[in-house]
């Protein structure tokens, strides 16, 4: 849910949940906003900027839904580290989670243990590529780019990691089958 006092700037990409192995890639990612590109897209915000998207390691969109800032978006990402697969569950508001994707291969990730990583949630705002920078510099999202304002916000609740061996927590003390 969006913090109304700190609205998002949809010309930027916000990476809001991801698992990051040592190589800096993402096993999966949840994002909202205009995807970071070099050069920056000519028309911002992009058509999908106001969608909440779940991406695999290769940046394929597994699930996309309009981001409604006035409702809770509930997500569960099933990761099978050994088989290198992903599945997505989602709902809005007080509804129970349901499967919203197929179980898909995520074989572009490294096998375990190298393919595992740190779990992040927050508001990582990527810059816009600065046309004054070289192409190589434009890709350096950590040290370069154009970054307007830093007062955006989202609310998070009930963030946790669980084993899906016995199923997936779907809300209201219910468990649904994993993929």
Residue-by-residue DSSP string for 7-67? ---TTSEEEEEEEE-TTS--SEEEEEESPP-SSPPSSSS-TTTTEEEEEETT--EEEEEE-
Q: 101: which DSSP letter?
A: S
pLDDT of residue 91: 97
pLDDT of residue 1: 74
pLDDT of residue 114: 85
Decide if 171 is inside a domain. yes
Decide if 30 is inside a domain. yes
pLDDT of residue 78: 98
Per-run averaged pLDDT (10 residues), the chain, 179 residues:
87 97 94 96 96 98 96 96 97 96 96 89 96 94 90 92 94 94
Decide if 4 is inside a domain. no
Decide if 18 is inside a domain. yes
Decide if 97 is inside a domain. yes
Decide if 6 is inside a domain. no
Decide if 26 is inside a domain. yes
Tally of CA atoms within 13 A in the half-sphere of 76 that contains its CB? 25
pTM score of the predicted model: 0.94
What is the number of structural domains in the chain? 1
pLDDT of residue 128: 97
Decide if 78 is inside a domain. yes
31, 13 Cβ separation under 8 angstroms = yes
Domain housing 117: 13-176
């Amino acid at each position: 849910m969006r913090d109304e006092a700190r609205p998002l700037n949809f010309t930027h990409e916000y990476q809001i949940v991801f698992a990051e192995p040592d190589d800096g890639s993402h096993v999966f990612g949840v994002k909202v906003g205009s995807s970071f590109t070099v050069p920056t897209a000519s028309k911002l915000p992009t058509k999908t900027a106001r969608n909440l998207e779940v991406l695999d390691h290769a940046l394929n969109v597994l699930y996309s839904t309009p981001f409604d800032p006035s409702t809770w978006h509930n997500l569960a990402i099933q990761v099978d580290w050994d088989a290198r697969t992903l599945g997505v569950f989602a709902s809005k508001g007080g509804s129970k989670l349901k499967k919203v994707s197929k179980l898909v291969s995520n074989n572009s990730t490294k096998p375990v243990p190298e393919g595992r990583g740190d779990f992040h949630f927050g508001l990582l705002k990527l810059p816009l590529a600065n046309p004054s920078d070289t192409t190589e510099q434009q890709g350096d999202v950590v040290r370069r780019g154009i970054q307007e304002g830093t007062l955006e916000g989202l609310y998070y609740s009930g963030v946790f990691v669980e084993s899906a061996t016995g199923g997936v927590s779907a809300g209201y003390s219910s468990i649904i089958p994993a993929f």
